[in-house]
Amino acid sequence: MTKNQLFRQFHCNLTIEETAKLCFKSVSTIKRWDSGDTIPKECKRLMRMYSNREISLSEDWAGFYCEQGKLVLPSGIRLTAAQILMASALVEIASDNDLKTSSYLVRVARALSDIKIRYGS
């Protein structure tokens, strides 16, 4: 088993077919990677992003990651694209009072998360 195959299968938890589809490559190309050919940097990054290894370099996204097509919040809640779109729509139609309450709750949640990170659970 090559380093590339270990990366694809165990680090990213992707099948050959999933990797081919994700990277817009043929199955035979992925098999060549598994045999030792170099995986292009952009494909490795896509594979990491898909398998929850990274979402952004920005501090605003600290604690967030993607896992198998869902956004995982720092709280562990997993959201589908439909749920995110619904939440966005609800924010768009919310009243000023609702927005102030929501902003306050987000600040409190982040503060609690910071305390948990600093002092453990």
Per-residue confidence band for 95, with pLDDT thresholds at 50, 70 and 90 = low
11-66: pLDDT as tens digits: 888 999 999 999 999 999 999 999 999 999 999 988 987 876 567 667 888 888 87
Mean pLDDT of 77-81: 90
Q: What is the pLDDT of residue 115?
A: 80
The predicted structure's pLDDT at residue 57? 66
Average of pLDDT values for 85-92?
81
Mean pLDDT score, 83-107: 79
Report the pLDDT value the prediction gives residue 68, as an integer from 0 to 100. Answer: 74
Cα–Cα nearest to 30, from 1, 45, 21: 21
Mean pLDDT (the chain) is 85
Helix 16-23 vs helix 41-50: crossing angle, to nearest 10: 120
Structure confidence at residue 97 (pLDDT): 73
Task: Specify the pLDDT at position 39.
Answer: 96
- Cα separation, 101 vs 119, in Å, equals 27
